[in-house]
A and B are shown apart, each in its own frame.
Chain A
C-alpha cells in the first residue's frame, strides 16, 4: 500500500527558484498535504507551506498541483497514478515569499476597501426578522473559506498584473453580491462595484466557479446578478434620482 512517489516542488523566494525533485513515501488515504509534511519532517525541514485545518475548512493550503489551483489538504493522492510525477507550485497570481507561500496581501487590501456592512435598525423587540429563503442567497457566499483559488485562476489578474489596482477579483465581487443581497444591509454598493472594484472587467468565463472548493456558483449566482443590478440602476433614471436626493432603501 505504501509506495514511493515522485514529487516536484518549487523551492525558492522572491529572487528566484526552481523545481526540485523528491522521492517520498505515500500511504493509503493520504492527501498532497500529508506528503508535503513528510518532506518537511524527513527531507526538507525548512520547506515553507501554509496550512491550518487539514480538512478543507480554513483555505490556507492553496497551491497549484500539476498546474491546477487546488487545496493541498483536499487533493487525494489516489487521484494520481503511482507512476505519475506530482508537481506542486505556489499560486502564480501572487508574489512568492518562499517555496509554496505567497504574498496574498492583495486580497486583504481589497477586503478592507469594501464599504462595511450597514444594517437597518433592529425591530421593536430587539430582534432582526428574516426568512430562511431570504438569507440563503447571501449564505452561499458566506461559505467562502478565502482560499483565493478563484483569485488565482481569474485571467483578469493572473495574466495582467496591471489590472490588480482596478479589479478586486471574483472573491470580492461575490462579497459585494453578498452584501447587496443581504436582507438587513442598507448601503448601495452598485456604483462602487463597477467603478472601484472592476465588475466590468469580468467577462464571465466562469473559471472561478470551477475551482471553488466550496462549490460556490460565483458567476451564476453572484457576479451575473450583480452585473444585472448595476445595469438596472444605470439605466433607470428614477433609481438614479432617488439615490441622489435621499436615503432610499435598497430594492
Chain B
C-alpha cells in the first residue's frame, strides 16, 4: 500500500478558529505541530461568522465584566451549560481578543480608539468586538497569517477518516489527500479535534459542505463520548428566497443595529412571544424597545434580541399560523428604521449578499427570513480546563466540543469559544504529548484496515448514488428532527436512519481517486448518519423543552431534566448507546451571581 507517513507531537484536525488557535498554542509550547484541513487554508466555516466576538472588555459599558457575561451565557443556555466552561470562557475572552490585535487584526474602534463592541441577542451589554459584519473573516485571516508566520505545517485539502489508538490512548490519524486520493498517516500522541459542526445533515442550513459531523463521529469511534446532542440551534434569520440560497445566514447584527421582525400583517410579533424567564429584562412596548438603542440604562431590550431559540420558535409559529411572507418566512425590516448610509456602513456584507443573490436592496425594502440549521450545542464531552476527551490524547475544541453552551448558544459566544478553548486544548495537547512521545507506534494492520475501508465504495458496482442518500438524510432530519419535535416523528426518523445505514453500506462511486467529490461524499455519509442518530436518540429521550430542543408533546421545562445530561457513546455492537449523567453543579460563589446581577 502506498502511504505517506509523518510524525508530530500534536496533530490538529480542522483549520477554523479553534484549530488554528490550538495549533498556535501547541507550537508556542514547543510541540511539533501539524494542522490537517479539508479545504484550503483560510476557507474554514469560521469565515462565515459575521457579528463578532463576545468578550466583556467593558470598552463601552464599564459596568460589564466576566460575571455578567457568565450569567448571560448560562441563562441563554437555560442553565444546562457546564458552569466551569462558561466561567473560563467569560474570564478569558477579553485577553484572547486583545492578543488578536498583536497578530494584526483590525477591529472597528470606539471614539477613544479602543475596540468597539456591538449589541447582540442575550447579551446584557454591547459586548461583541467586530469588524463590520465580517468578523469571522478577520479572525480566520489573523490566525492564518500567524500560523504561517510561525511556520506550522498545514496539510490542506486533506481529510482524516480515522483516529488511531492503542490501549493507552491516541497514536495518530489516518486520512487521504483530496487532490490525489493518496493515503497519509500521522503518528502523534495528541490529536485535537476542531472539525466544527453537523449542519449538512439538515436540508436548510447555514453550514458549508465541511460540516458533516466527522469530528463528532471520529471521537465516538475512538471511544470518546458526546454530550447534549439533542440541542441543535436553528438561527432565526436565514435567507428564504430564492430557493438556491435558502438557509444562508442573515446576521443577528441586523437586529442588534435596529432591525425588527414583522409578520405579513405588519405587526412586530415578538412582543407576543416574551417568555416569563426573560420578561423582567425585555421591553413591553415598541416605544421602550426603540428608546433602548440610544438609552440602555433606562430601557429594556427589544424582544427581537431575545436568545436565538426564542426568536426561531416565534418565527416558526407565525409562519404556521398563516402570517408568513409569500415565500414562507417573516419580514426583517431595517430599511424603514435606519438611513441607507448607516445600513451600508454597518452591514456591508448583508447589503451585498441580498443585492447579489436575491436582488433585494435592504436599504429600501424588508428582507424575508426564516430559521436555518446553524449550530450544534452538543459535542465531544471534555474536561473544561484541558478540553481532554475520555480517550487519553484526544482533545476537542470549538463547535465539535460540547458543554459550553448548554441548550442554546448566544450569538458572539462562538468566536470567543474557539479562541478560549482552542488555546487551552493546544496547551494541554502539547503537555500530554511530552509524556507519551516515545511510546507510540502505528501498526501496519490498522493502517491497512483504514485504507481498505476508505476504498470500499470503489469496489462495489451498481450500488447507490451517494448524492441521493445524502438528499434523503437531509430531508429526514429536516422533516422529523427539526425545530419542533414529537416522539412519533423521531421514532420514524430513527427507522429511516437505520434504512439509510444499509444504503450507505452499499454505496458505489464512479471515476478514480483523484479529486473525486462523489467518493469524498461517500466517506462523509457514515459520519453524517451516526451524528444524526445521536441527535434523534437524545432528542427522543429528553422529554422536556429547553433551548434548542422543543418537544410539542412536552412543551415545558422539567426540574429533573434540568439536572441531567444525556451522553452518547458507541456500544460494542457499533450502535449508539445513551446514558443519563448528572449535570455538574456550580459552586456557591458562582450561584450567587444569579442573585446579585438582576
Contacts and interface: CB of A to CB of B under 8 A. Distances in A.
Contacts of B132: 139
A233 B509 CA distance: 60
Interface string A90-126: 0000000111010010001001100011010010001
A45 B509 contact: yes
A135 B109 contact: yes
Given A27-B243, A52-B45, A52-B210, A128 B101 contact: yes
Given A40-B467, A59-B43, A129-B112, A138 B106 contact: yes
Contacts of A57: 47-48, 134, 137, 349
Nearest to B518: A45
B509 A116 contact: no
Contacts of B518: 40, 45-46
A132 B106 CA distance: 10
Interface string B349-388: 1001100111000000000000000000000000000000
Interface stretch (A29-37, A159-167, A200-208, A239-247): A29-37
Interface in A169-193: 179, 182, 184-185
Interface centre among B141, B467, B517 (most CB of A within 10 A): B517
A135 B114 CA distance: 11
B213 interface: no
B445 to A, nearest CB: 30
Interface in B127-167: 131-132, 134, 137-138, 141, 145, 148-149, 156
Contact of A142 (B106, B210, B467, B468): B106
Contacts of B517: 40, 45-49
Contacts of B148: 111-112, 116
A238 interface: no
A130 B242 contact: no
A116 B243 contact: no
A146 interface: yes
A222 interface: no
Interface stretch (B34-42, B270-278, B552-560): B34-42
A237 B22 CA distance: 46
A211 to B, nearest CB: 15
B285 interface: no
A231 interface: no
Contacts of B358: 29
A224 interface: no
Interface string A129-173: 111100100110011111000000000000000000000000000
A30 to B, nearest CB: 4
A58 interface: yes
A54 B243 CA distance: 13
Nearest to A74: B356
A52 B43 CA distance: 7
A167 to B, nearest CB: 20
Contact of B149 (A45, A55, A116): A116
Nearest to B348: A143
Given A27-B244, A29-B244, A55-B248, A48 B516 contact: yes
Nearest to B243: A29
B574 interface: no
A145 B48 CA distance: 11
Interface in B70-96: none
Contacts of B242: 28-30
Contact of B515 (A48, A54, A111): A48
B516 A46 contact: yes
B582 interface: no
Interface in B37-70: 39-45, 47-48
B208 A142 contact: no
A197 B47 CA distance: 27
Contacts of A42: 467
Nearest to A145: B137
B106 A45 contact: no
B47 A145 contact: yes
A22 interface: no
Contacts of A229: none
B470 to A, nearest CB: 9
B114 A58 contact: no
Given A46-B518, A59-B43, A143-B134, A182 B98 contact: no
B465 interface: yes
B179 interface: yes
A119 B104 CA distance: 8
Nearest to B358: A29
Contacts of A219: none
B339 interface: no
12 contacts: A30-B243, A41-B465, A41-B471, A46-B512, A52-B208, A57-B48, A101-B179, A101-B515, A138-B106, A142-B131, A143-B134, A179-B104
Interface of B: 39-45, 47-48, 98, 101-104, 106-109, 112-116, 131-132, 134, 137-138, 141, 145, 148-149, 156, 179, 208-210, 241-245, 248-249, 349, 352-353, 356-358, 465-468, 471, 509-512, 514-519
Q: Which 8 pairs, one residue from A and one from B, show the smallest C-beta to C-beta distance?
A: A29-B242, A46-B511, A129-B113, A45-B518, A116-B149, A117-B104, A48-B515, A41-B467
Given A40-B518, A58-B208, A116-B145, 11 more contacts: A28-B242, A46-B517, A46-B519, A47-B517, A58-B47, A59-B43, A122-B102, A131-B109, A135-B108, A142-B106, A182-B106
